A and B are shown apart, each in its own frame.
Chain A
């Protein structure tokens, strides 16, 4: 299983510690090509730390991480660049460059990594902005002038800028109203289908898990407890999982899914 070539992300034996606080201990995770994997876990369980480790923003104490067939912990600039060019990331608060307009934000990766004419780059960026559900007028605004939800959409537009095959989304629907969140889920699904994207999705949103995730990985007790389609995960015998999926919110999301 570990050398399955379909695995686009391969994490094994990951250990992360901050001082005495152990976040991950011997964590294993495989993400397959072309799937949407939902990563869930309680607050402070290390979902974001896992994402940051995969993105090499955080150096783990031990373990190996292979992304797109390259060693993500390698110090070689070529490997790093290859992974960076092929991943798009939406951070929790958008992480937009506050001194640039939305359009300029989306253009940053395009200008850095391509030699296309300026006019075409602007057109491409405008489409990404509108794909993410923003009005064209919003492209000329600064992040400080946008609402939280719009900032999130601008962040998605920037993550999509390079049409990277691997997309990391850190709580994409948090802070959106339920209707926008559902729209957002559909958007992610449309793009993912057409592009055969692989999406690594950190979320608390049970509706997102039920509607778009192919598999769900639950992080608890410092490791990935289970990584399987949602039906199997919901049946897994662990107090946190039972509470999460069979609490009032979990049941509501489940019954909404059954009605569809």
Chain B
């Protein structure tokens, strides 16, 4: 039988020859740590030396427990007899356990709460400044590179257009279709009380052309794309790829940020348009099935009652949202530190920030356009 499968229970007895000497036997290893702890728990009265020469095997755990026991027992180091190869390890463990770690004294609760609030405010201020600085840097880099066609990263832009735009089409259209249907149902329920079912067309039309088409797209892209940007750049940062880019004299903003933001700027209006169409389709389907408004009637009412400015107002927000989503996604990626936890935290933060900012900007835009009577 191979020897590593055999193991001897550790034991501690009084030496039959010397009444004041303890004799340790067996395997003093991690495997038997529980047995060792209970074996060494009680103090042995009147013992002044330890014979560990009969210990079969000992490891760092065993050595540490043995030496801790000797300290509690008051047995001096020179009263320990052990095999020379065991002594070497015991010495190594002893010298490794001499300086205890300094205990950190936690501050009082009130102080910690106040410090937390202060740190949060400081961080919020710093984050705002960093965002503005990043926006400036990106614009600067864009301005420098717009006159240098050699620096246009066409391949990269097209790649990102496919990743953030084309691949998101089914999702965006499906969800918009569903929301369109839901709004038509809600409108039908409320408006039928006044006998005004026909106004469902205006309800679906205005809400999708002005708000929901672009909002839904922005929220989906914030979840889908901002997080992807953060994770991509964050993991590049932890792999020191960003440092490599810098040392090669390349500009990480030009290389990583501009293609992503340009791709978003180009695809987001298209996606928003598709989302609007899908939403209208959803409304149209519900109108046809449950309200008896035929698609022809739906279309003609849409044409006669709604002015085209609604869709221009809606789509005019798309590039703004695209820039916000792209900038936050990339910036959070650059803020990552070199560990998995940090990449996760910043990905969450980028999604939360971009969704909140998109909704905030949309609310401001709604007020703005209302004031302009558009």
Contacts and interface: CB of A to CB of B under 8 A. Distances in A.
Contact of A191 (B1, B3, B92, B100): B92
Contacts of B194: none
Given A33-B4, A194-B58, A162 B30 contact: yes
Given A98-B340, A194-B89, A195-B89, A131 B96 contact: yes
B64 A124 contact: yes
Contacts of A195: 57-60, 89
Contact of B101 (A120, A139, A165, A191): A139
A144 B339 contact: yes
A198 B62 CA distance: 18
Nearest to A121: B33
A138 to B, nearest CB: 10
B42 interface: no
Interface string A162-196: 11010000000000000000000001001101111
A99 B340 CA distance: 7
B341 interface: yes
Nearest to A133: B96
Contacts of B89: 190-191, 193-195
A114 B34 contact: yes
Contacts of B90: 194
B29 interface: yes
Contacts of B59: 163, 194-195
A95 B92 CA distance: 25
Contacts of B338: 98, 144
Given A68-B2, A163-B29, A163-B30, A190 B92 contact: yes
Contacts of A130: 96-97, 99
B337 A144 contact: yes
Interface in A60-100: 68-69, 86, 98-99
B85 A194 contact: yes
Interface string B1-39: 111110000000000000000000000011001100100
Contacts of A8: 2, 4
B1 A5 contact: yes
Contacts of A116: 33-34, 37
A196 to B, nearest CB: 7
Contact of B99 (A136, A142, A190): A136
Main secondary structure of the interface of B (DSSP, over half): helix
Contacts of A115: 34
Interface residues of B, number: 39
A199 to B, nearest CB: 14
Contact of A160 (B60, B62, B238): B60
Nearest to B345: A99
Contacts of A127: 60, 64, 93, 96-97
B97 to A, nearest CB: 5
B86 A194 contact: yes
Contacts of A194: 58-59, 85-86, 88-90, 92
B57 A196 contact: yes
Contacts of A162: 30
A128 interface: yes
A142 B340 CA distance: 12
A248 interface: no
B7 to A, nearest CB: 10
Contacts of A187: 92
A69 B2 contact: yes
B102 interface: yes
Contact of B37 (A68, A117, A131, A160): A117
B61 interface: yes
Nearest to B98: A130
Interface string B33-60: 1100100000000000000000001111
Nearest to B343: A98
A142 B336 CA distance: 15
Contacts of A99: 339-341
Nearest to A115: B34
Nearest to A110: B30
B341 A193 contact: no
A180 to B, nearest CB: 16
Contacts of A6: 2
Contacts of B37: 116-117, 120
Contacts of B58: 194-195
A237 interface: no
Interface in A1-32: 5-6, 8
A155 interface: no
A163 B85 contact: no
9 contacts: A8-B2, A33-B4, A99-B340, A99-B341, A116-B37, A127-B64, A127-B93, A163-B59, A193-B85
Which 8 A-B pairs have CB atoms at the shortest separation, nearest pair first?
A194-B89, A98-B339, A99-B341, A130-B96, A163-B59, A163-B30, A131-B96, A144-B338
Given A8-B2, A131-B60, A139-B101, 4 more contacts: A117-B37, A127-B97, A163-B62, A194-B86
